[in-house]
Chains A and B, each alone.
Chain A
Amino acid sequence: MLRKIVSILAGLGLWHFLATVVVNDTTLLVSPIVVVKTAYQMLFVTGELYPHLFASSWIFFYGFALAIVVGVPLGFVMALNAAVRDYVNPWMATLYTTPRIAFAPVLLLWFGIGAGSKVAIVFLGCIFPILINSYYGMRTVDREYVELARSFRLGRWSLFFKILLPASVPFVLAGIRLAIGRGLTGVAIAEWFGATEGLGYLIFFAGQTLNIPTLFVGVAVFAALGIVAFEVVRRVEIYATPWRKTSAGG
């Protein structure tokens, strides 16, 4: 622990030294002190960060929610029905392995520069980890549980709701957790194309105007959002699956 603190302090000191003595050019690098000051200004004095934060959060939320609503059932259907799986699989595998950025211009062409195309980009980023994990969760349900259900003569629906669904919840949640990072990247990509507000816009605008302090603040906020969202889902995971000590899947 002590070593970690020393490492962080030494790194910040080195950064300060590099910025003020070696580089000494505010269009290339600024000291961490300036970054903290700028963050303070943007958060508590001018408050200019909030509209961007708000815009990005909404896009993230819509895309993320849509990905859960579509991804989880689709993953389940693919796991339970071999024909659907075989026909959908080649398209899914192709979409999944394509770098998402490639779709951004196409989606922009279809949905315009409004919220639609941004939500679509976030959706496309989030859906695959959720879909794939839902699929695996449903596929890898312990056979003994299913046999138990059979011996109790459970019908199709009660088998699904009482056995298959609860057994796949940990996997689904792990998928949702993995989707957070991809969703945040999606937000940044989306806001870079034809946006007028949002954290991604803030970062790219700062980059183009060589406003390094704002650029660093934007990056830091992004990282903080990722960590917070990750932690929230981890808490939900612990709460929703109390019988598990650690989360599996992924």
Chain B
Amino acid sequence: MSRREITRGCISIFVGLVLWEILTRLLLENELLIPPPSSVLRSFWSLLLSGQLKKHFLATLLEFAYGFSTACIIGVLLGYLMGMYKWFDEIMDPWIATLYSIPIITIVPLIIIWFGIGMLSKVIVVFKITAVAIILNTAAGVKALNPVWLELAKSLRLGAWETTYKIRLPGALPFIITGMRLGVGRALLGVVVAELMAANAGLGYLLRDSSETWDSPKLFVTVILLAVIGLVSFNLIKRLERRMAPWRQGAEWSAD
């Protein structure tokens, strides 16, 4: 980002917020439709002080962390096996492809019926979304490995274990991280959907609670908080991607 871009970006956001404040104060009698930024900020502060925000934020974060970390381990393992053994690939492929083409939110009701309205169902939702993305990308990465590297491993007399550790997995790493990046955005959507549908804690619950009690400032606090989480996680993983695979040209935004 150049200096000019940053200046203009800041001006744009600042002017947007000021306009929002002025317009809502002048035009709207009722804060229900669009609350001015100052009421949103006030609502944020009171939620923060009452500890509600922390509770819901932690619930979502924990669900996300459990699902995501399990998906990383199992996803890489299955994806690696699919990339290595053709028979395993052929057996798994129809099922992974089916799971991949089903929009996740349509199976959330089913997951809630099976795993209850507690934390477990949300962890499963995050797991499903992330695991599919990682499996597909890891398999592609292992298959696309440069054959010269494998020959190098052979001429260095590396064992099967060492070839996996030192050649195959690092070679597939950029693909694995791409899978993770795709998983993060969708998993965030999935966990919020699941919480919205049936939960007693989490940001999705807060979203539902504030929209059903017509508490617009609180609703906007939640929306903005989700926007910030999305932005931060997206940028973190983008940075990780650049660090792990600097030879790959990263796009500034990339559509999933």
A interface residues with partner B (beta carbon < 8 Å): 1, 3-4, 6-8, 11, 27-28, 83, 86-91, 93-103, 105-106, 108-110, 128-129, 132-133, 136, 175, 178, 181, 184-185, 188-189, 192, 200, 203-204, 206-208, 210, 212, 215-216, 218-219, 222-223, 226-227, 250
Contact = CB atoms under 8 A, between A and B. Distances in A.
B255 A175 contact: yes
B190 to A, nearest CB: 9
A181 B109 contact: no
Interface of B: 4-5, 8-9, 11-13, 16, 32-33, 87, 90-95, 98, 101-107, 109-110, 112-114, 185, 188-189, 192-193, 196-197, 204, 207-208, 210-211, 216, 219-220, 222-223, 226-227, 230-231, 233-234, 251, 253-256
Contacts of B98: 223
A205 to B, nearest CB: 9
Max count, chain A CB within 10 A of own CB: residue among B95, B189, B216, B251:
B189
A90 B253 CA distance: 12
Given A7-B91, A28-B114, A109-B211, A200 B106 contact: yes
A95 B13 CA distance: 13
A28 B204 CA distance: 25
A90 B210 CA distance: 27
B248 to A, nearest CB: 15
B193 A219 contact: no
B94 A8 contact: yes
Contacts of B193: 101, 189
B230 A227 contact: no
Contacts of A206: 109
22 contacts: A7-B91, A7-B93, A11-B94, A86-B5, A86-B8, A87-B12, A89-B9, A91-B13, A93-B231, A94-B227, A98-B223, A98-B227, A99-B185, A99-B230, A103-B223, A106-B219, A184-B103, A185-B189, A207-B110, A207-B113, A219-B110, A250-B255
A108 B214 CA distance: 11
Contacts of B233: 97
A222 to B, nearest CB: 5
Contacts of A184: 103
Contacts of B9: 86-87, 89-90
Contacts, number: 152
Given A87-B11, A99-B189, A3 B102 contact: no
Contacts of B234: 97
Contacts of B204: 101
Contact of B207 (A105, A200, A218): A105
Max count, chain A CB within 10 A of own CB: residue among B103, B112, B222, B233:
B103
A99 B204 CA distance: 11
B5 A128 contact: no
Contacts of A185: 103-105, 189
A174 B20 CA distance: 35
Max count, chain A CB within 10 A of own CB: residue among B94, B109, B197, B231:
B109
B216 to A, nearest CB: 7
Nearest to A96: B253
Max count, chain B CB within 10 A of own CB: residue among A91, A98, A109, A206:
A98
B230 A97 contact: yes
Contacts of A216: 110
A110 B30 CA distance: 13
Nearest to A103: B223
A102 B226 contact: yes
Nearest to B194: A101
B12 A91 contact: yes
B93 A4 contact: yes
A3 B90 CA distance: 6
B113 A28 contact: yes
A109 B156 CA distance: 65
Give the 5 A-B CB pairs with smallest separation, nearest first. A207-B109, A105-B211, A86-B8, A97-B230, A129-B255
A106 B110 contact: no
B251 A136 contact: yes
A212 B103 CA distance: 17
Contacts of A100: 189
Given A109-B32, A132-B254, A204 B109 contact: yes
